[in-house]
Amino acid sequence: MIRKFTMGRPIITEAVTAEFMSEKIGAFPFKSKTENGCFSFSFAMRKDDIVYGLGEAVRGINKRGWIYESYCSDDPFHTETKSSLYAAHNFIMLGGSSSFGIFIDFPARIRWDIGYSKSDEAEITICGMDFDIYLITADSPREIVREFRAAIGKSYVPPFWAFGFQQSRWSYHNAEAVDRVIDGYNSANIPIDCVYLDIDYMDSYKDFTINESAFPNFKSYVADKQSQGIHLIPIIDAGVKKEDGYEIYEEGKANGYFCKTADGSIFEAGVWPGICAFPDFINPEVRRWFGSKYRYLLDMGIDGFWNDMNEPALFYSAKGIENALDEAAEAKGKNLDLGKFFHLKDVFMGLSNSRDDYSSIWHSVDGESVNHQSVHNIYGASMTKAAGDYFSEAFGEGKILMFSRASYIGAHRTAGIWFGDNHSWWSHILLNLKMLPSANMCGFLYCGADLGGFNENATRDLVLRFLALGVFTPLMRNHSALGTRDQECYSFENTDDFRDIIEVRYRLIPYLYSTFKKASEENELIFRPLSFDYPDDKIARECETQLMLGEECMIAPVYEQNVSGRTVYLPEDMRLVKLSGTRVEQQELEKGLHYIEVALNEIPLFIKKSKKIPLCQPALRTRDLDKDSLEYI
């Protein structure tokens, strides 16, 4: 059952597609208070209660013991100390002494104190007075998820080829660099379906343009790659370069499509191209305009995109950089003591993604001016909705790959997400694992992390272990940053190990795709915490390094360096299957703890009794997979 409680005049986010009768907030059955323009409520937690949800967030599957914040943030350092990442997924769920879920449909900041201030209490503070709260009750966490997902609408289903292996880097800066990647994978006989184009494919970092000197005859080049079974996936950023004569900028300026400042002038801030304007994606007319611009690349044969920098990311505002330079000039030649030096440092460190800058942005919502801080968390989601709505209208469902960095619940109907700029840290294998069920709860099924890590230099064993988890994530993309070590699979010694891992992915694609489609159609999870299936098993309830996959399997990746395997807990008798290339080893194991040896080129998978999964023969491209000739294990 779902009850809806409304306060004030909520901004319409389109997160919820089902209709519910609104009750007054006074009927909300939790202790609440109003203070300093904020509404907060709290509920008690017993010692063994688990709090799930919040989608893309740091720390564990169980969210207890920390303060989280719903505020889409461009922050590449995903450490335990952070409170927010790129997404705002305002859904939590209590499992244990009682079961209920809460979704707060509010596009501004929310503070979630989940047992940090008081270990036996959760206090949620909504930083505003206009919102909807949905209270979902059912007999189990899994049923609560089904109820919630039914209310927010079916999850996006990408094209079949989007389950193939994908290679990205910031940046393959010209056609020759892209060809070297494809040749590298072909020479190593490693399957691949997609190569990504980061910002250097554009002319001066301008959306919907091509750098003709780097990618001459782009339409023919795309067609040539398509003939090889390779999809090129270009990036699209939120900021539009301020440049006279640039069509997108000129149209946006002439039609009033860009975000404004309080005095009605266009808000400007620096990103990759320098000074940019930012489309007012909250406005449906602007969304229709911007979404139609993807046609430029679609007409060249492109059939997939990734939206980036859409929190929105701001390197600096014109006003902010001017103030900082004035402070630096004032300090020139002076003896800077401790306080003065760190003040100057903080001035420059605070230029990027400044909340003061966000507060100076204004949107048009139903003819009224609304400050950006009131809609911050739906800006990136609205950009993605602009594209997704256009794709559905022009091509139908499931024809175009689309995923985004910033997101809000509701965007799951038109796109997937990736978990942003992570690091080549062993801890981020586990962070990826723990985000998967939380993202699924919020409707985001097509998701994954930058395998091998985006920032810093990866080691060979880290990339292999990261890929071994990525074998199961719908988005399986290796991505790395400018200036880091080459991270393509063929760049390391003994590429056979990498081929063994990625061939396993291709053998599993028919199973993973059917599991994905079922999860979308039935409002289910692809990945579940063990506690969903074994609520009375204390070890399973506390396990956060293993996940249930579909109805048949359990996964348990290796996530530590310099080890030959790991300890795995089986909550029931299962069959251990080790997959490597076309090799399959099987062993029956009893319920309990087991140390499992896992070579760097092996994938461990645990199949439940009376269950089976299909495998096909591997191929270099998804288009060449024989989905009719399957073997079952």
- Ramachandran angles phi, psi of 214, nearest 5°: -85, -35
Of 379, 322, 506, residue with least CA distance to 74: 379
pTM of the model: 0.97
Question: Mean pLDDT across the chain, nearest whole number?
Answer: 97
CA distance 393 to 24: 37
Could you tell me which residue, 14 or 97, shows the higher pLDDT? 14
pLDDT band of residue 367 (cuts 50, 70, 90) is confident
Residues 140-155 pLDDT 10s = 999 999 999 999 999 9
Q: Provide mean pLDDT across the span 373-391.
A: 97
Say how far residue 510 (Cα) sits from the centre of its chain: 23
Whether the bond between 171 and the residue before it is cis, its omega within 30 degrees of 0, is: yes
So what's the pLDDT on residue 366?
87
Distances (CA, A) of 94 to 63, 434, 435: 10, 17, 17
pLDDT at 483: 96
Q: What is the pLDDT of residues 205-255, one digit of tens each?
A: 999 999 999 999 999 999 999 999 999 999 999 999 999 999 999 999 999
Rounded to 10 degrees, the C-alpha dihedral 243/244/247/251 comes to 100
Q: How far apart are CA 127 and CA 107, in angstroms?
A: 10
Give residue-wise pLDDT tens across range 580-601.
999 999 999 999 999 999 999 9
Q: Residue 485: what pLDDT?
A: 97
Residue 259 near residue 279 (C-beta atoms within 8 A)? yes
Model confidence over 464-513: pLDDT tens digits? 999 999 999 999 999 999 999 999 999 999 999 999 999 999 999 999 99
Give the pLDDT of residue 602: 98
Average pLDDT (197-203) is 98
Buried b (16+ CB within 10 A) or exposed e, 214-240: bbeebeebbeebeeebbbbbbbbbbbb
Q: Are 401 and 159 within 8 A, CB to CB? A: yes
Tell me if residue 576 falls in helix, strand or coil.
strand
Question: Where does the pLDDT of residue 319 fall: very low under 50, low under 70, confident under 90, or very high at 90 and above?
Answer: confident
- Which pLDDT does position 98 carry in this prediction? 86
Task: Measure CA 538 to chain center.
Answer: 30
What are the beta bridge partners of residue 451? 478
Does residue 398 have a pLDDT over 90?
no
**pLDDT above 90 for 536:** yes
pLDDT tens per residue across span 4-29: 999 999 999 999 999 999 999 999 99
Angle (CA) 43-47-48 rounded to 5° is 105
What pLDDT was estimated at residue 170? 97
Residue 476, SS3 per DSSP = coil
Task: Using alpha carbons, list the distances in angstroms from residue 435 to 22, 54, 308, 535.
Answer: 32, 9, 19, 20
pLDDT over 70 percentage in the chain:
100
pLDDT-derived band at 262, boundaries 50, 70, 90: very high
| Terminal Cα distance for the chain, rounded | 39
CA pair distance 603, 443, nearest whole angstrom: 27
**Bigger pLDDT: 32 or 366?**
32
Q: How large is the average pLDDT for residues 40-58? A: 97
Confidence of residue 543 (pLDDT cuts 50, 70, 90): very high
